[in-house]
Amino acid sequence: MGHLRKDNVPARVLVVDDDALTCELIAEILGSAGMQAAYLTDSTEAASRLRTDKFHAIFLDVRMPPPDGIELARQIRASATNASSVIVMITGEEDRTVMARAFQAGVEFFLFKPVDRSKLLRLIRATGGTIERERRRFTRVRLRCSVSINSPQASLDGNTLDLSLGGMLVQAERAFPPGTPVTFNLEIERGLVADGRLGRFTAIISDRPGGLADLAAQIASTGASIKQVVHDRAFASPDVSAVNVLCTVETRDHKHLAELRALLKSRGVKTYDAN
């Protein structure tokens, strides 16, 4: 099926159709593709919710009691919350005039009735990259790191609370007036280390062919990502058959890093904290 989710934050989708059975079917198929789908049968209620809640994709039936799907699309494109969300129009007809009006209102894709699983999954694959970019742009990642904020007149220091592709939330003792142009300097690596998402240690492995590849495979088996490996023969241990390897790895948290090192120890690989 080609799930879109690449982390623990699924794409959020809203389905709006005055036919409850159509809503339920689309929401069930979207859920099977790894998305978090909600649905509403009242377009007025949907208009209110779309002003406050962020969705990465929105499915709209073209013909509903006012506001209809095309009017909802116009409202979405004019809103601050969902202006860039992917809009899919649900329709039972291929009227060129209606489709032209929908495109003008900001609709990007069409789902033609009757809706079935294979048809919707093909559409998901076609829209997947667009929905995924929207999801990533608005997914906030908790990360605390030092940040320096500078304007032509002044500068201040603070700490990030979270980051996304669309911006960051910063905690500082004061703030610049709205509209002030600023630049940011982030110490992201320190933040990753503090959160346990970036770790560094030295492992002692066999200097025989395949030793380094075996270490990499063991690290990868835990779900950790290798950022850098330095094969250091100059400062190896007294045992000429062994070599020190400085490893920088990306992990989920401190517990994950500890589990990784425990696994290596259980498999005969000695590790110690890097200087």
pLDDT digits (tens, 9 = 90+) for 122-147: 998 888 688 888 887 777 777 677 78
Question: Residue 4 pLDDT > 50, yes or no?
Answer: no
Q: Does residue 146 sit in the same domain as residue 254?
A: no
Q: Does residue 27 sit in the same domain as residue 98?
A: yes
pLDDT of residue 197: 80
pTM attached to this predicted model: 0.56
**Bigger pLDDT: 187 or 99?**
99
Q: Does residue 70 sit in the same domain as residue 170?
A: no
Range of the domain at 204: 198-273
Mean pLDDT value across residues 137-161? 79
Q: Does residue 29 sit in the same domain as residue 109?
A: yes
Mean pLDDT value across residues 71-85? 94
Is residue 71 one of the residues assigned to a domain?
yes
Q: Does residue 146 sit in the same domain as residue 214?
A: no
Which range, of 10-24, 42-56, 112-126, 154-168, averages the lowest pLDDT? 154-168
Question: Residue 3 pLDDT > 50, yes or no?
Answer: no
Q: Does residue 125 sit in the same domain as residue 17?
A: yes
Q: Does residue 188 sit in the same domain as residue 253?
A: no
Q: Does residue 269 sit in the same domain as residue 256?
A: yes
- Among 87, 89, 84, which residue's Cα sits nearest to residue 99? 89
Q: Does residue 119 sit in the same domain as residue 233?
A: no
Is residue 2 one of the residues assigned to a domain?
no
Q: Does residue 117 sit in the same domain as residue 145?
A: no
Q: What is the CATH number of the domain that holds 236?
A: 3.30.70.260
pLDDT of residue 238: 57
Distance CA 49, CA 79 (A): 12
